[in-house]
Homo-oligomer: A and B are copies of this chain.
Amino acid sequence: MDKKAVVLLSGGIDSTTTLAIAKSQRYDVYAMSFRYGQRHALECERAKQIAQQMGVKKHTVVDIDLRSFGGSALTGDIEVPRDRSHEEMGSGIPVTYVPARNTIFLSFALAWAETLEADTIFSGVNALDYSGYPDCRPEYIEAYQRMANLATKAAVEGHTELNVQTPLISMTKGEIIKKGSELGVKYELTLSCYDPDDHGRACGTCDSCLLRKKGFVEAGISDSTIYQLG
Contact = CB atoms under 8 A, between A and B. Distances in A.
Contact of A100 (B60, B101, B152, B156): B152
A217 B148 CA distance: 36
Interface residues of A, number: 44
A50 to B, nearest CB: 20
Given A60-B68, A69-B112, A110-B100, A156 B143 contact: no
A218 interface: no
19 contacts: A63-B63, A64-B64, A69-B111, A69-B114, A71-B114, A93-B153, A98-B111, A99-B111, A99-B153, A100-B108, A100-B110, A103-B107, A103-B110, A103-B147, A104-B108, A134-B153, A140-B150, A146-B147, A147-B147
Given A62-B65, A101-B111, 5 more contacts: A69-B115, A93-B157, A99-B112, A134-B152, A143-B147
